[in-house]
Structure 1
Amino acid sequence: MRIEDFDFDLPEELIAQTPLKDRSSSRLMVLHRQEQRVAHHHFYEMIDFLHPGDCLVLNDTKVLPARLYGIKEDTGAKVEVLLLNQIEHDDWEVLVKPAKKLKVGTKVTFGHGQLTATCVDTMEHGGRVLRFDYDGIFYEVLDALGEMPLPPYIKEQLDEADRYQTVYAKEKGSAAAPTAGLHFTEELLDKLKKKGIEIAFITLHVGLGTFRPVNVENITEHEMHAEFYQMTEETAETLNRVKAKGGRIISVGTTSTRTLETVARDTGGTFEARNGWTDIFIYPSYQFQAIDGLITNFHLPKSTLIMLVSALAGRDFILEAYQTAVKEKYRFFSFGDAMLIL
C-alpha cells in the first residue's frame, strides 16, 4: 500500500490547541463496523455502548517532563533535548536539536550545573545516547528542570501540566501522553465499574515509535521504533477471563492496542504477564487477535496511527469518517475529540 492511500485534507484550525475544561465533554464519533454507520455523541456517553462483562484496557504510563534546555560546555551553544527511553542506569536515548552539532564526547549542562550529560553514542534514526550525571534522585531533578513535551503542532502554552496526563497515569517513562485516555475522569471510571465493566491496565512508554513519520512510498517498508511495554499477571488474568466469558476487549488508544496485539501475537492469542520491547506495525491486512474495539483520537494524515485504525475499521470507512469529522468540525489530535470503533 502507498503512503498516499492514507492522506486527507485537514484544515489547520481543526487542530485542538487547548484541552476542554471538562475532559469527558469532548465529542465522540462512534463507528459501527458491521453496519458501516457513523453516529455522533459526547465522550461521557461511551458508557452506553459498553456491556457488563466488557473490559476497557488503559495505558497507565506517565509523561515525564522530558524536554530539557541545555548548553554545550565547549561552545556555549544552546541545545534542546527530548528524553525518549531509559536504556540502562543513567543512559537515555534522546532526540537533540540541533542533532548534528552534538557529537560523541560532547558535554551538555542543564540548570546551572544541576544536571550534566555526555553524549556516548549515536542512534540509527538520528538520535543520541546521553549519560547523565547529577546529585540526588534523577526524576526529582527532572521535575525541577524539565518541561512537559507537548507535540510541535500545539502552539498554545499549557496552563496546567496535569491536563497532559491521564487521571490514572502511574508508571513514569513516556515522552508523550497516550491521548485517548485524556478523556476519562475519575467519575466516568467509577460509573463504568458500577455498570460491571472491567478496567485493566497495561504500560507502554510512548516514544519515537508512535510518532515517527513514514518516509517511504510503500508503507510495508516502514520500520517502527521499539517502545517498552509491560503486562502484569493481574491484567493477563482479567483479559483471559473476559475473553472466556464472551466479553469484549476495548482498547483505549493505539498504544494499548499495540501492547495487547504484541502479547497476543507472541502467545498464540492468549494473554500472559510479559514485558519487553515492541516494534509492531499495524496496517490494513493485519489480523487482530486481541481487541474487539478501540477508543482513539483523530490522527495525522499519512501517520502509522491512521494506518492502525484503518486496519481495524477498513481504510475506506475510516477516510469517509475523517471527511465527516472535518465537515462537522471535530477537533483533531492530542487535545481533540475521540472516536469509538466497535
Structure 2
Amino acid sequence: MKLSDFDYELPQELIAQHPRQTRGQSRLMVINRSDGSIRVGTFNDILTYLQPGDALVLNDTKVFPARLRARKSSTGAAIELLLLNEVKPGEWEALVRPGRRVEVGTRLSLIGARQADTVEVAADCGKTKILRFYVEDVRRLCWRIGEIPLPPYIKRRTEPADHARYQTVFAKRVGAAAAPTAGLHFTTELLKELRDRDVQLEYVTLHIGLGTFQPLEYEEVEKNMLHQEAYALTEKTASRLNEARKRKKKIVAVGTTTLRLLETVVNENCLFEPKNGFSDIFIYPGHTCRSADALVTNFHLPRSSLLLLVSAFAGRDLILRAYKRAIQERFLFYSYGDAMLIL
C-alpha cells in the first residue's frame, strides 16, 4: 500500500488558523458507509444521529502548556523548548529549537521566570534532548509561563484565547501535547442536551503526543511505526460500554485518539477489557475496526496516519470523495477546523 494513494491538494486558506468565534459553530459533514451518501450541516445536527442508550466515548486528556521560551545564558540567543515527558524528577525530554545551537552543558534562562530558574542541557538524544531544570516545580512553572503547543500548521504565536479553545470543555487529566480536536466541537450545553436525551457519555484517556504531527517516513505504508501514547480505560467504563454493546446500541468514538484506544482494548469478541498502558497501534486500510459503530473526527492532513485511520474506518474512496466535497463546500480543515461524522 502506497502513502501517495492518500494524498490530496488542499488550498492553504482552508487550513483553520483560529477557532470559530464561538465553540460549537462548526460545520458537520455526515457520511454514511452503507449507502455512500454525504450530507452537509452544522455540528448540532449530531443530535439527530444519536439515540437513547447510545454511548458517546470522549477522550478527557488535557493539554499541558509545555512550550517554554528561553535564552542562552552565554549569548542571549532565543531558544524554544517543547517538553515531551518527565524522565525523572527535574529532568524532561524535550524538543529544542534550534537544536544545533544547544549543546550538552548549555545553560538557558527561562523568559518570564525568576532569574534563579534556569535549565541545563543534560543529554543529547538525537531528535530530542534531556533538560535538567533548576526550579522547584516544573509543572507549576509551565502553568505559569508556558504556552499551549499549537500544531505546526497553525502559523501564528499562541494567543491567550488558545488556553481555553485548544482544550475540550471536558478536559480533566493533564498529559497531552496536543488536543483531541474532535472533542473541541462539544459545548457544555450540547453535552447536557445529549445527557437529557439519555445518550451515554463515557470518558477514556489517551495522552496525545507530538508524534501525532510527525509525517510518516516511508512510502510503503506498512513499514511505518507510530509513537507510543499512554492510555487508560477503567473497569466501570469498560463495563458500561459492554452493556451498551449487548443492548445493540451504537458506540460512537469521538476522535481518532479515542478510536485508537478502543481498538487497543477491544477483544476478539468485540468486548472491552479495562486496561492502562501504552499503545502504538497503527490503523490503516486492511484493519477491521471492531470497537466503534460511528466516528466523529476532523479533516486530516494528506499522507498522515490520521487520514489512513479514517480510510480504514470508512474506505479510502469514500473518504477522498468526502474530502473533495468538503473543499468544494469550503469546509475548514485540521485542528481548529470543521467536523465529520462517519456512520
Shorter-chain-normalised TM-score: which range? over 0.9
Cα distance in structure 2, aligned partners of 1:277 and 1:103: 31
Which AA in structure 2 matches 1:14?
L
Q: Which residue of 2 aligns with 1:147?
A: 147
Q: What are the superposed Cα offsets for residues 70-89 of structure 1, whole Å, 9 maximum, x if unpaired?
A: 12335443211112223443
SS of equivalent residue, structure 1 residue 147:
coil
Please list every run of 5 or more consecutive structure 1 residues that lacks an aligned counterpart in the other structure: none
Residue pairs, 1:1-342, within 5 angstroms: 1-110=1-110, 111-113=113-115, 115-123=117-125, 126-135=127-136, 137-156=137-156, 158-160=159-161, 161-264=163-266, 269-342=270-343
SS of equivalent residue, structure 2 residue 245:
helix
Which AA in structure 2 matches 1:280?
I
CA positional deviation for 1:156: 4.4
- So what's the TM-score if we normalise by structure 1? 0.94
SS of equivalent residue, structure 2 residue 312:
helix
SS of equivalent residue, structure 2 residue 266:
helix
TM-align CA RMSD: 1.8
Cα distance in structure 1, aligned partners of 2:52 and 2:269: 26
Tell which deviates more after alignment, 84-93 or 15-24. 84-93
CA positional deviation for 1:212: 1.4
Q: How many residues align?
A: 339
Cα distance in structure 2, aligned partners of 1:263 and 1:229: 10
Cα distance in structure 2, aligned partners of 1:296 and 1:122: 36
CA positional deviation for 1:268: 6.2
SS of equivalent residue, structure 1 residue 23:
coil
Which AA in structure 2 matches 1:26?
S
Which AA in structure 1 matches 2:79?
V
Q: Are the aligned partners of 1:210 and 1:255 in contact in 2 as well (CA < 8 Å)?
A: no
CA positional deviation for 1:270: 2.6
Q: Are the aligned partners of 1:85 and 1:207 in contact in 2 as well (CA < 8 Å)?
A: no
Cα distance in structure 2, aligned partners of 1:261 and 1:279: 11
Tell which deviates more after alignment, 318-327 or 66-75. 66-75
Structure 1: 4+ residue segments shifted above 4 A: none
Q: What are the superposed Cα offsets for residues 256-276 of structure 1, whole Å, 9 maximum, x if unpaired?
A: 1111111125x8643233211
Q: Are the aligned partners of 2:178 and 2:210 in contact in 1 as well (CA < 8 Å)?
A: no
Q: CA 1:270/1:117 → structure 2, altered by over 3 Å: closer, same or farther?
A: farther
CA positional deviation for 1:127: 1.6
Q: Are the aligned partners of 2:151 and 2:213 in contact in 1 as well (CA < 8 Å)?
A: no
Q: CA 1:255/1:154 → structure 2, altered by over 3 Å: closer, same or farther?
A: same
Cα distance in structure 2, aligned partners of 1:319 and 1:183: 23
Which AA in structure 1 matches 2:266?
A
Cα distance in structure 1, aligned partners of 2:272 and 2:107: 44
SS of equivalent residue, structure 1 residue 68:
strand
SS of equivalent residue, structure 1 residue 21:
coil
Please list every run of 5 or more consecutive structure 2 residues that lacks an aligned counterpart in the other structure: none
Cα distance in structure 2, aligned partners of 1:76 and 1:159: 26
Q: CA 1:114/1:199 → structure 2, altered by over 3 Å: closer, same or farther?
A: farther
Cα distance in structure 1, aligned partners of 2:207 and 2:82: 14
Q: CA 1:122/1:248 → structure 2, altered by over 3 Å: closer, same or farther?
A: farther
Q: What are the superposed Cα offsets for residues 262-306 of structure 1, whole Å, 9 maximum, x if unpaired?
A: 1125x8643233211111111100111211111000111111110
Cα distance in structure 2, aligned partners of 1:328 and 1:32: 18
Tell which deviates more after alignment, 108-117 or 324-333. 108-117
Q: What are the superposed Cα offsets for residues 70-128 of structure 1, whole Å, 9 maximum, x if unpaired?
A: 1233544321111222344333222111123333343333134454333334446x122
Identity percentage of aligned residues = 47
CA positional deviation for 1:203: 1.1
Cα distance in structure 2, aligned partners of 1:320 and 1:208: 29
Q: Are the aligned partners of 1:60 and 1:202 in contact in 2 as well (CA < 8 Å)?
A: yes
Cα distance in structure 2, aligned partners of 1:304 and 1:74: 41
